[in-house]
Structure 1
Amino acid sequence: MENQRSLVLYIAASLDGYIARNDESLDWLFKVEGEGDNGYKSFYDTVDTILMGRKTYDWIILHEKGNFPYINKECYVFSRTAMENNENVTFFNGDIAEFMHELKTKAGKAIWLVGGGELLHSFLKEKLLDEIIITLAPVVIGKGIPLFKEDELGIELTLKDIRRFNQFAELHYKVNNNQRMK
């Protein structure tokens, strides 16, 4: 499908592949010296739809103290349990592939998969992710919540760009959904 919207994972991780500590702390991330907003605003302006898992949503609600950061975007939260929608988000617990087919064919900008790891894994298994933009922090935390779950997905990527934001390295990949490593 030629004019479909892209689903982009835009996320930060430690050098050893973790997106948070086991207690969901991001303290390690905020200790790294970046540059400006590390490219966040320029990326944020390219998207009009936000997708996230329930754990990520709960983390945001807890840590942002009621200031929902995606107020001007269409936002969906994927949850295994039915939840009541609110002014900021629509909760979803149906078929991911069918939902994404409908969402990608609607007019609009790119779609941002915020996180987390469980939801990402579901999207990778269904071959729904189009791009990965990962900002690596020069920190090895040793254990925590992994960006990628252990599985035999064998996904091939094509490097599109590399950018540096002081101590952070941003790697931008195209996901080759038609190719799987054997």
Structure 2
Amino acid sequence: MSRNVVLYIAASLDGYIADPEDSLDWLFRVEGEGDNGYGAFYETVDTILLGRRTYDWIMEAEQGRFPYTGKECYVFSRTRQGRNEHVTFTDRDAASLVAQLQQQDGGRIWVVGGGDLLQDFLREQLVDELILTVAPVLLGKGIPLFQQMDVQTELLLQGTRRFGQFVELHYTRK
């Protein structure tokens, strides 16, 4: 059985994952419910994929405390290679790394972000599930969840859930 690659992410109603200053403050002002399903999702994941800018942003926001300890983590980077105590830096193309990971036993593979990495995964049709939590905020501009692509992807709705003011949409690729 193949391990699913999952995009699990929050976005504004108008489709942005961060404001123009890379801030998520708008997201934390929305009234949710508990952890909005994050804990249950996180338990299904054993491998995490991040872009380098997202990794750097997380490390700064978390003041050096890595939030994904105990999970196998890869950071896509053109300039940094090797390992540290938490992640493996790689310049491999997404498709070959995912193919290798899917040959191994394990749980879901979570594509955390950012925007450029998400674009690569969507363009290459590597995302099996998309779990999008929509916040009732219109940002008007910022970092878009979806950029223009030459690839059309059809999805099947698996379910919806409400967490306070958030709505979670769960899709699988057709």
Q: TM-score, normalised by structure 2?
A: 0.97
Report the equivalent of 2:62.
64
Counting aligned pairs with the same residue, the percent is 60
Whether 1:167 aligns to 2:169 is no
Q: Where in structure 2 are the equivalents of 1:107-122 lying within 5 Å?
A: 107-122=105-120
The two structures, once aligned, show a CA RMSD in angstroms of 0.8
The answer to whether structure 1 residue 149 and structure 2 residue 147 are counterparts is yes
- For 1:69-148, what aligned pairs fall within 5 Å after superposition? 69-148=67-146
What's the CA shift for 1:94? 1.4
SS in 2 for 1:57: helix
2-structure distance, mates of 1:25, 1:155: 28
Q: 1:50 aligns with which of 39, 48, 51?
A: 48
Q: Distance in 2 between matches of 1:163 and 1:74?
A: 28
- Cα-to-partner distance string for 1:125-163 (whole Å, 9 max, x where unaligned): 111110000000000000000001112321111000100
The number of residue pairs the alignment matches comes to 174
Q: Which position in structure 2 is the counterpart of 1:179?
A: none
**What 5-or-longer segments of structure 1 have no aligned partner?**
177-182
For residues 46 and 55 of structure 1, the distance between their equivalents in structure 2, rounded to whole angstroms, comes to: 25
Shift in Å, 1:79 = 1.0
Question: CA–CA distance in 1 between the matches of 2:93 and 2:58?
Answer: 24
Structure 1 distance, partners of 2:149, 2:4, is: 24
Instruction: Report the residue type matching 2:133 in the other structure.
Output: T
Query: Residue 82 of structure 2 contacts residue 90 of structure 2 at CA under 8 Å; is this kept in 1?
Result: no
Comparing 114-123 with 148-157, which one deviates more in the overlay? 148-157
Instruction: Calculate the TM-score normalised by the size of structure 1.
Output: 0.93
Distance 2:20 2:71 in 1: 29
